[in-house]
A and B are shown apart, each in its own frame.
Chain A
Amino acid sequence: MNFNNVLHILGLFLFFLGLAMIPALVISFYSQGGDLKALAGAFFATSGAGFILAILFEKTEEKISLTRREGFLIVTLAWVAAAAFGGLPFLIYGVTPTFADSFFETMSGFTTTGASVISGLDHLPRGILFWRAFTHWLGGMGIIVLAIAVLPVLGVGGMQLYKAELPSPVKDKISPRVVDTAKLLWGVYVLISLAQFFLLMLGGMNAFDAACHTFATMGTGGFSNYDASIGHFQSLYIEGVIIFFMAVAGMNFALHYRLFTGDFKSFFSDGELRFYLLIILVATAVVTIDLHLNLFYEMGKALRSSLFTVVSIITTTGFVTDNFDQWPLPSRIIILLLMFIGGCAGSTGGAIKCLRILLIIKHSYLEFYRLIHPHAVVVVKLGKQTVPADIMASIRSFFFLYISTAIAATLCMAFLGLDLISAFSAVATTLGNVGPGFGLVNPLSNFFEIPQAGKWILSFCMLLGRLEIFTVLVLFIPDFWKK
């Protein structure tokens, strides 16, 4: 392990993170909301710390080439550092009383969870609100991936970082070079974001709200500028635009890129995408009927509420228009399940991902097939591609680890005094990077009441969920540190 290079890159990254605060700083300067000092302080502290770190630890080679281990370490450290330093504006301004709160809020931002400890959003200054939403947008496509795209010094080492930050069950590099891949992905991301921004403006949102809600939608985050979330606007048009773009953000961005290059065929024939749309369709239908029958919503309202909520939860965004904690049990169970499913691989969404669920279903089906035809040679296929056995194995381990983590964290939360529904849904919603849960953490309330220790545990869950478990947990394996 070359710690010089690790810390040097970490320094560069922090410096870069500091620069990312400049837009919020500018907005704060023009809106005069009294948060300029907090943002400026955070800006200087972050970029200053990064600058010092990068100078203190000089890189040992012209173009840094990283090992896999260094890749895992840098990415995990970078995310923790991002949450720690990125939370400084909240801490200094005082909107979060303790470091644990600011860390939670920022981790929730960067991991695109959208679980908040802040209430009274409607009265917060614009600089703070902007930075809060902006963390979603940065974290959505991956802060490290953005750094790879703009920092040439990462060179070849970028590949290891890319793999550690965007672990994907299947290969989806869209260009031979990782730098180009990162640039293309961010390019697509920016274009789609611009489209949403203008569509929201058309619907009568002011530019500031449109920008913040675009960030939160495209990153599948869920921070809103209002306590009532999207419910604040009471507009069918805005809900429609947001439903569409949440769904888009929950799809694989490599497919969007292909769509931009005119390759419609591979977009619509993608097995995972079809599966994802199917789940949305079925879940919406069931919830609509449930709301209509048991809660006596009229059909139009039931459909509007259920479609918005289903898309918001499966893409792990977490915007709300209706308090689903009040819904009948069948609907609540479906919502809870969706928290575990998540968006497509290669999207900005979190949780287990449709691709893994789909492959596990196929794999389980083949087990039955093998019972009937003991001599059959069978392979799991995705479209026309065979999924290699080792990838299947790693998907199964992921599934196992994901569920075990959820159970272990629920147990911890229970020790801290939460009831079962609150504990389990709080863990499911943070691990899946969704946002709202049930019980204590229902859509209308927030995570402020959770004890300090619980906030650290849930922050850790968010990190695990965003980096897909392995990247973080591998650091706790003793072999990782052996020379």
Chain B
Amino acid sequence: MKVIIVGAGEVGYNIADVLSREGHGVTMIDQDELKLQEIAEKLDVLTVHGSGSSPQVLRKAGLDGADMIIAVTNSDDTNMVACLLASSQSNVGYKVARIRNAELNGTSVIFDKNHLNIDLCINPEREAVKNALNLIEFPGATEIIDFVDGRIKLIGFSVGPDSQVIGKTLRELRLLYPRTKVLVTSIIRKEKILAPTGDTSMQGGDYVFAVSASDELREMLRIYGKSGEALKKVLIMGGGNTGFMLAEALEARGLSTKIIEKRSGRCEDLAAMLEKVTVLHGDGTNQELLQEENIQNTDCFIAVTDDEEANILGALLAKRLGAKKSIALINRVEYMPLVSTVGIDGVINPRHAAVSKILNYIRKGKIVSATPLHDERVEAYEVVALETADITDRPIKDVKFPPGTIVGAIIRREEIMIPDGDSVIRPEDHVIIFTLRSTIPKLEKMLTVKLDYFE
């Protein structure tokens, strides 16, 4: 597949990385020549210097033969024009645009076939808000990802120091708690990813990825020593787009919410737009302000400014001052492993969310949803099992998966099954599969290879 990516920022870079490694032909357009040089050094892609809204530049990038365009610059206008050019000047099959304007979303009329004709709009801020809401609902988790429309959740959390599971093997746990449908899919111990087996025993400080049905998540987190109460009082630091959307959503859920914003003008706007939320003017990293606002009784502090270092500092400070839980918005993957070690409870990563949504879209068809996890070395897939695929109609233990691959859940109509080695995947089942990024092409082949035969 030939893909043009407009915008070599964090989102563009990460998508280019994944796609080029999977063997697609990627061309990147950006106006920053230095950034392009750096990318040409690191990735096997073609780079074109220029504006993504220029027809000439797009043609030079091979618009005529392209199958997909992904416009992810910081400017909505550029992204929309790039997609418009892709459908008017050429016949590009798939168009993805990053649209930050909160007034527009995927269902807006201007994106439909008769107007801009954009197939997928992503809004990293909106994804981040979804993410944050999940974390607020399940305070024990560090990361939460929805599958099957939210009925199954994949959560990442570190095992509590006084959890009752420490020292027990996964097999014992299954016997101890037979009613909770949980599958531990990967354990990260000392920065290394382990693919757990029944004999793997839990240790304090392990970072665990597990799949569970939504209604049993609370119970599971309790077993693993993570408190399960929902939060009531939330303090948001940063009143930008993300902060505003988050406050609006929390307000709608009836949580007591405060929002701190530096710019006084923006504060006035927020106050006008929000009904019950308390808008505070000030710096979220100011200790006095936090104490004044009763930080020690706050259930959750969420820092969502544009400055990720400030977010980390704010979250740390709030935690020290007594906030029960602190969450920071972070864009750089390098910071992710740092965060849990310094004591921040949760991370929302808009870029990550945007990348996973785009990947998810690209792998559409047989794969419903794909999500990169932890340092992006692991990916979770939601796939629809095809009659012709190698994985169906035999016990899972007989399927020859690439190493490190685990089947996390099987969903058959309304029923959710957490599988063991004897479970059988039937055609039309939704299956959640975890795998290492390096084995993805192999796995994708397994899932679809026989299909070509009949088409």
Contact = CB atoms under 8 A, between A and B. Distances in A.
Interface of A: 61-63, 68, 155-156, 158-159, 171, 173, 175-180, 388
B254 interface: no
Given A156-B21, A156-B44, A158-B44, A176 B2 contact: yes
Nearest to B442: A62
B67 to A, nearest CB: 12
B20 interface: yes
Contacts of A155: 21
Contacts of A175: 25, 46
Contact of A176 (B25, B41, B438, B439): B25
A155 B20 CA distance: 10
19 contacts: A61-B438, A62-B439, A63-B21, A63-B438, A158-B44, A171-B40, A175-B25, A175-B46, A176-B2, A176-B25, A176-B26, A176-B27, A176-B46, A176-B62, A177-B20, A177-B24, A177-B25, A177-B44, A180-B25
Contacts of A388: 33
Contacts, number: 37
B96 interface: no
B66 to A, nearest CB: 10
Query: Which 4 pairs between the two chains have the least Cβ-Cβ distance?
Result: A176-B25, A176-B46, A62-B438, A159-B44
Contact of A173 (B2, B41, B43, B46): B46
B44 A178 contact: yes
B305 to A, nearest CB: 35
A180 B33 CA distance: 24
Contacts of B234: none
A177 B24 CA distance: 8
A61 B436 CA distance: 13
Contact of A177 (B23, B33, B62, B438): B23
A131 to B, nearest CB: 33
B155 interface: no
Contacts of B44: 156, 158-159, 176-179
Q: Which of A173, A176, A388 has the most CB of B within 10 A?
A: A176
Contacts of B438: 61-63
Contacts of A61: 438
Nearest to A157: B44
Contacts of A68: 41
Interface size class of B (residues with CB under 8 A): 10 to 19
Given A175-B46, A177-B23, A177-B26, 7 more contacts: A68-B41, A156-B21, A156-B44, A158-B44, A171-B40, A176-B20, A177-B25
Interface in B79-118: none
B21 A176 contact: no
Nearest to A178: B44
B45 interface: yes
A58 B127 CA distance: 42
Contacts of B46: 173, 175-176
A173 B20 CA distance: 15
Interface string B37-68: 00011011110000000000000001000000
Interface in B10-32: 20-21, 23-27
B449 to A, nearest CB: 17
Interface of B: 2, 20-21, 23-27, 33, 40-41, 43-46, 62, 438-439
B55 to A, nearest CB: 16
Nearest to B48: A171
Nearest to B62: A176
A254 B45 CA distance: 17
Contacts of A63: 21, 438
B91 to A, nearest CB: 18
Contact of B45 (A62, A158, A176, A179): A176
B191 to A, nearest CB: 16
A61 B25 CA distance: 23
A62 B436 CA distance: 11
A254 to B, nearest CB: 12
Contacts of A158: 44
Contacts of A62: 438-439
A185 B439 CA distance: 29
A64 to B, nearest CB: 11
A218 B25 CA distance: 29
Nearest to B20: A177
Contacts of B25: 175-177, 180
Contacts of B23: 177
Contacts of A176: 2, 20, 25-27, 44-46, 62
Contacts of B439: 62
A380 to B, nearest CB: 16
A62 B442 CA distance: 12
Contacts of A178: 44
A431 to B, nearest CB: 29
A94 B438 CA distance: 49
A383 B326 CA distance: 57
Contacts of B41: 68
A388 B49 CA distance: 12
Q: Which of A62, A155, A158, A177 has the most CB of B within 10 A?
A: A177
B92 to A, nearest CB: 15
Contacts of B2: 176
A63 B438 CA distance: 8
A26 B41 CA distance: 42
A63 B44 CA distance: 13
Contacts of A171: 40
Contacts of B20: 156, 176-177
Nearest to B436: A62
Nearest to A156: B44
A203 B145 CA distance: 71
Contacts of A173: 46
Nearest to A385: B49
B368 to A, nearest CB: 26
Contacts of B40: 171
A393 B113 CA distance: 50
A97 B54 CA distance: 64
A159 B44 CA distance: 6
B440 to A, nearest CB: 11
Nearest to A390: B37
A173 B24 CA distance: 15
Contacts of B26: 176-177
B3 to A, nearest CB: 8
A104 B62 CA distance: 44
A211 B40 CA distance: 38
A179 B46 CA distance: 12
A63 B20 CA distance: 13
B211 to A, nearest CB: 25
B21 to A, nearest CB: 7
A175 B61 CA distance: 10
A159 B62 CA distance: 20
A106 B256 CA distance: 80
A155 B25 CA distance: 13
Q: Which of B26, B45, B439 has the most CB of A within 10 A?
A: B45
Nearest to B61: A176
Contacts of B21: 63, 155-156
Contacts of A159: 44
A70 B438 CA distance: 21
A183 to B, nearest CB: 12
A178 B98 CA distance: 28
A247 B27 CA distance: 32
A178 B42 CA distance: 13
Q: Which of B2, B41, B43, B46 has the most CB of A within 10 A?
A: B46
A178 B33 CA distance: 20
B325 to A, nearest CB: 38
A208 to B, nearest CB: 40
A41 B258 CA distance: 81
A177 B25 CA distance: 6
